[in-house]
Amino acid sequence: MAYRIKCTVSYDGTNYNGWQKQVNQPTIQGQIEASIQKLHNGLYIKTHGASRTDSGVHANNQVFHFDTELDLAPYRWKIAINNYLSDDIYIKKVEIVGDEFHARYDVKKKEYKYYVNLNEYNPLLRDRMHFERRNLDVELMKKEVKEIIGRHNFKSFTGGTIYDNYVREIFDASITINNGILEFTFIGSGFLRYMVRTIVGTLIEIGYGKKNNIKEILMSKNRNCAGKSESSVGLYLDKIWY
């Protein structure tokens, strides 16, 4: 009898070349599949992730599933898989689900967060958030980020991948500041590659006066009109809804 196993995992993406398995490259998926393979006496078991996070991107609640004929209780799966993982990847929750569930195709919405530190540089946080030394008009940035809410063509905010459809729906977008740290929150139906990082980079450039406004950039459908894509270190896949 086959079982479908749904796992929620958190990871520090610093030492990995993203989620997706690649030949001769350390990846999150590769590490997880190697762990699961050991539990199956060397038999390869394919995993399906909800989101293909890029190199250096972190996750609080990434989701993946796999199929197996091993009959283990969820808590035993959690212990067993974690036993073979390094300490920068951790399985938080395991569920046995119906075979109609798919970690990628059943996603209703995702939440990403991005952190920008406006304080003095701290090397201990260099892999956790982006440090910004320029003075920013945070109130203007808070206003401009609201322009991306709704259903839009986000071609201006992606690169490196050609899509059949650049339209995505953003349900909420906000910026908060606490003790000198900006927290960008984006909740949407899905995101194009580099989309969140490019929106953040554009908002930062708006904040120090280099760019004009988000609405014009959206309407241009031109990547050259947007700001640079900020580094991956400040980006976190925070939550997934099904």
CA 81 to chain centre: 22
What does each C-alpha distance from 113 to 48, 183, 214 come to in angstroms?
A: 22, 7, 19
In the block, residue with structure tokens 């690169």: 159
Task: Mark whether 54 is an active-site residue.
Answer: yes
What is the distance between the alpha carbons of residues 140 and 225, in angstroms, rounded to a whole number? 19
What does each C-alpha distance from 94 to 21, 63, 73, 194 come to in angstroms?
A: 21, 10, 9, 29
3-state secondary structure of 29: helix
Tell the burial category of 121 from Cβ atoms under 10 Å away from its Cβ (0-12, 13-18, 19+): exposed
Q: Choosing from 12, 54, 99, 137, which is the catalytic residue?
A: 54
Tell the burial category of 132 from Cβ atoms under 10 Å away from its Cβ (0-12, 13-18, 19+): middle
Using alpha carbons, select from 63, 60, 157, 76 the residue that is nearest to residue 108.
Answer: 63
- List active site positions: 54
